[in-house]
Amino acid sequence: MNTSLPIAVPTAPIRKRLWKLGVAVALLLLTLTIGNSLIEREKSVTGSMIGHDFLAFYTAGHFVQTEQTEKLYDMDAVREYQREVEQGSQLEVEKGFAPYWNPPFAALAFAPLADFSYHEALAIWEVVSGVVLVLSLAVLIKMLDSANWKNWALIPLLFIASMPFVQAATHGQNTFITLGLLLGVVVLWRSDMGLAAGMVAGLLFYKPQHAALIAAVLCFSMGRKAILGLAVTGMAIVCINITALPGTLEDFFTKMPANLRIMQELHLYYWERHATFKAFWRLLIQGKELGAPSLAVRVLWFLSAAAFAAPLILAAWREAGRKWVGSFGSLRAHEHARDRLIAATIACAPLLMPFYFDYDLLLLSIPAVLWARELLQNKIRQPLTKADRLCLTGWVGLYLWTFLNPPLAGRIRLDLTVIWVAMIAAGLVARALQGAAVQHAAIVEDHKTTPIAQAA
């Protein structure tokens, strides 16, 4: 009989290596920042070069504020107004412009900023985003549930010393707002507050590519309460949109598909900046040439997405079916199964959606924390499973590759970002499928310790 003890999860060596990696990258970014301030202005990155994605939001707010909502999805009107802002604010921008991709109701949030100059509005937006970011990091640290500072301090270190963070912050993007809303959904989901979770998930539809999969799996997992919450927020948003911005919903559904085709098929497009299967096959097979995705791209995109969607649906089915089985022990096991499902859903979202930029990969910090939480709280110290090793390799690879991806992927026609995300998603989906077995084992163990079982 083998009496050897199980090998403990090597959390300390992993943590030590992650600290070395995070500190090294942070020092590199700090060195580049200091060096940028010391070189000649003509060769440096200046304030007038950053935050240009905010132009899309500022433009939308201007059209709402001036009651020109019919121009929200008018590409020529957007281009003309942004040229005026660029000249008036002395922005250093490349050729092109920033279309407004979001649903019309989201523009209402930016209307008050149109009363300020572009630079003032951008500063306000950065302050608001910064506050949400700090709160989000606090929630992530609390979610890790570790009193050891060497564990929880890795969250802000690796988060801030990452390329998606740099991109989101310097582009003036809304990633931090999305992160805050998604964390709200996750916290409520983990607290079995289906109605509230559904209501917050409805707000995520200001960026449909982030909301669709999350909302679907949430409703699958939480049932009627989540569906009701989603419906309440959805109806409220539609009523506000129809009342405050009449005619814009029709414009969104009729003009947006054509606008996307214009930007992605009739102009050179940054396919390497998308973390999707669609972009991966498009770049690999067709490169950056103009035109619609080929039949081969569409077929491979569908097959790749199906390979991840099918097991994720199965995991959601199992988690929902076993939700209330057993007593305290099995419910505790359900918490792990639920966290695994949440983590897998968020990780699969970039791959399954047709539109998902690389800076939004910051949202993968949530599944990373949920994964680390379970490893740290595992009372039975076990070796890393194949799925765990796949996740760890994927996260380290993704963390490093995102610094190289923008200049390299387009040239080599291979976006390794998608490969690394796929590794993470595959590992997390495998763990989610294993959650049913964990629940079953906990139920059996729980029954063994009940008074009736002991008496027998």
pLDDT single digits (tens) 3-15: 333 334 456 688 8
Q: How far apart are CA 396 and CA 400, in angstroms?
A: 6
Of the listed ranges 9-13, 64-68, 166-170, 321-325, the one predicted with least confidence: 321-325
Under DSSP, the state recorded for 353 is S
- The residue written with tokens 């990373």 in the block is 368
Q: Which of 104, 96, 88, 110 has its CA nearest to residue 52? A: 96
314 vs 91, which has greater pLDDT? 314
User: Would you place residue 444 in the very low, low, confident or very high pLDDT band (cuts 50, 70, 90)?
Assistant: very low
Q: Where are the alpha helices (DSSP H) in 353-385?
A: 365-377
pLDDT single digits (tens) 358-384: 999 999 999 999 999 988 887 555 678
For the chain, the structural domain boundaries read: 270-450
User: Would you place residue 2 in the very low, low, confident or very high pLDDT band (cuts 50, 70, 90)?
Assistant: very low
Instruction: Name 167's Cβ contacts closer than 8 Å, sequence gap at least 6.
Output: 173, 358, 359
For residue 274, the cross-strand partners are 357
| Structure-block tokens of residue 330 | 């099995």
The length of the chain is 456
Q: Which of 454, 389, 453, 451 has its CA nearest to residue 424? A: 389
Q: How far apart are CA 370 and CA 377, in angstroms?
A: 11
Q: How far apart are CA 344 and CA 430, in angstroms?
A: 9
**348-357 average pLDDT score:** 94
pLDDT single digits (tens) 321-334: 655 444 444 555 66
Q: Residue 373, Cβ neighbours under 10 Å: how many? A: 18
**278-284 average pLDDT score:** 95
Dihedral sign for Cα atoms in the order 242, 244, 250, 254? negative
Amino acid at 104: P
Q: Return the pLDDT at 33.
A: 85
For residue 74, the cross-strand partners are none
Q: Return the pLDDT at 331.
A: 52
Q: Return the pLDDT at 343.
A: 96
**β strands within 267-317, DSSP E:** none
User: Would you place residue 349 in the very low, low, confident or very high pLDDT band (cuts 50, 70, 90)?
Assistant: very high
45 vs 146, which has greater pLDDT? 146
332-to-125, 199, 318, 430, 446 alpha-carbon distances in Å: 41, 26, 16, 20, 10
Amino acid at 91: L
> Mean pLDDT, the chain, as a whole number?
87
User: Would you place residue 451 in the very low, low, confident or very high pLDDT band (cuts 50, 70, 90)?
Assistant: very low
Q: How far apart are CA 429 and CA 375, in angstroms?
A: 16
pTM assigned to the model: 0.89
Q: Residues 380-410, buried b or exposed e (16+ Cβ, 10 A)?
A: eeeebeebbebbbebbebbbbbbeebeeebb
pLDDT single digits (tens) 75-110: 999 999 999 988 888 887 766 688 899 999 999 999
Amino acid at 137: L
Please compute, for residue 301, the number of CA atoms within 13 A of its CA located in the half-sphere on the CB side: 22
Of the listed ranges 21-25, 393-397, 404-408, the one predicted with least confidence: 404-408
**199-211 average pLDDT score:** 94
11 vs 426, which has greater pLDDT? 426
